Amino acid sequence: MGGDATDDEHAGEAERVRLAVYRGFADEGRAPSRSAIAESTGLDGDAVDRAMATLAALRHVVLDDDGRIVMAHPFASINLGFSVMGDRTLWWGGCAWDSFAIPNLVPGVDEVLVATTCPACGTPHAYVVDVDGPPEGGGLAHFLVPTAHIWDDVVHTCANQRIFCDERCIEDWLAATGNARGSVFDLATLWRLAAHWYDGRLDSPYVRREPSEARAYFAGVGLSGAFWGLEEEGA
C-alpha cells in the first residue's frame, strides 16, 4: 500500500509540474524556469526534476541533454520555423500544426499572426489564424514524418511540418533534400487538424488520446491514408 501511495504522490507531482509548464508557456511565451516551477507548485528542486523526467517519458514535454524544456506541444522554446504573435504574447510554434493550434487553446487569444517562410524558396508567409475558421491566403502543408514515427525524433518531425508556397516548391524541396513525399494538404485541413487536437491541455487532469481516438480524429478532419495510420498502402 505504501508503494502505491508513493506512486500516486509522484503522479500528482508530475501533473502539477505539467500544468505549471503549459500554463507558463501559454501566459509568457517561454518555458518557466525550474525555480518558477518549484515556486508555483510548492515542490522542491528534486521533486521538480523527478516530475520533469516522468513527463518526458510520458511525452508531455521534450527535454534537451541538459534537462531544459525544448517543447511542450504546441509550444516550443526554440525556433522551428514559426512565430505566433498575439496581442500580448509572442510564442515559438513547434510546427505548422502547433502554430495553428495556439489560438484554439490559449484562453483569451481569439486570433494570432502566424509567420513563417517557405522551406524551398524562402518566400515569407503570414496568416491571421483565429478560432472561427481557416485563414485566408495560399500555401500547402507538407508533413514529412508519418504518425507512427513522430516520436522517433520529435524535434526533427516538428521541424519538417511546414508550409510551402505550392506543389512546385514541395517538389523542389524534396528533390534538393532527397526526402520522400509525405502528406500534403491545404490550409483548411491544417486548421481543422489543429483546432481541437490539444483540447484540455491547459486543464487538469489531462489525459492523452488513445491511438484509436487519434485515428478517428484524423479521419474526422479529412485526412486519410497509411501516413495517418488510417489504412494500408494500396488499400
**What is the pTM for the complete model shown?**
0.92
The mean pLDDT of 3-32, rounded to a whole number, is: 88
Helix (H) or strand (E) holding 188: helix 187-195
| d(C-alpha 4, C-alpha 20), whole Å | 24
Helices (H) and strands (E) in the chain, counts: 8, 10
> What's the pLDDT tens digit per position in 83-108?
999 999 999 999 999 999 999 999 99
Specify the CATH number for 2-72; select among 1.10.150.120, 1.10.10.10, 3.10.180.10, 3.40.50.720: 1.10.10.10
- What value, to the nearest 5°, has the Cα angle with vertex 147 and ends 107 and 54? 65
> What's the pLDDT tens digit per position in 125-156?
999 999 999 999 999 999 999 999 999 999 99
Which cell numbers in the block locate residue 53? Answer: 523526467
pLDDT confidence tier of residue 10, bands split at 50, 70 and 90: confident
Cell 490550409 found at: 187
pLDDT confidence tier of residue 6, bands split at 50, 70 and 90: confident
pLDDT confidence tier of residue 63, bands split at 50, 70 and 90: very high
* CATH no. for 77-224: 3.30.450.410
Q: How many CA atoms lie within 13 A of 229 on its CB side?
A: 15
* Range in 6-10, 29-33, 83-87, 88-92 with the lowest mean pLDDT: 6-10
Q: Where are the domains of the chain?
A: 2-72, 77-224
- DSSP code at position 235: -
pLDDT confidence tier of residue 4, bands split at 50, 70 and 90: low
Distances, alpha carbon 102 to alpha carbons 25, 44, 87, 196, in Å: 11, 30, 13, 10
The residue among 149 and 6 whose pLDDT is bigger is 149
Amino acid at site 107? P
Beta bridge partners of 111: 130
Instruction: State residue 34's pLDDT score.
Output: 93
| d(C-alpha 17, C-alpha 55), whole Å | 9
Judge whether residue 217 has pLDDT over 60: yes
The mean pLDDT of 209-218, rounded to a whole number, is: 95
**Under a CB-based contact definition with an 8 Å cutoff, are residues 220 and 180 in contact?**
no
The mean pLDDT of 34-40, rounded to a whole number, is: 95
Give one DSSP letter per residue of 61-117, joined into a string: -EE-TTS-EEEETTEESS-SSEEEE-SS-EEEESSHHHHHHHHHHSTT--EEEEEEE
**Under a CB-based contact definition with an 8 Å cutoff, are residues 176 and 216 in contact?**
no
List the one residue out of 82, 80, 51 whose CA is nearest residue 67.
51
Instruction: State residue 233's pLDDT score.
Output: 42
| d(C-alpha 30, C-alpha 72), whole Å | 10
Which cell numbers in the block locate residue 88? Answer: 500580448
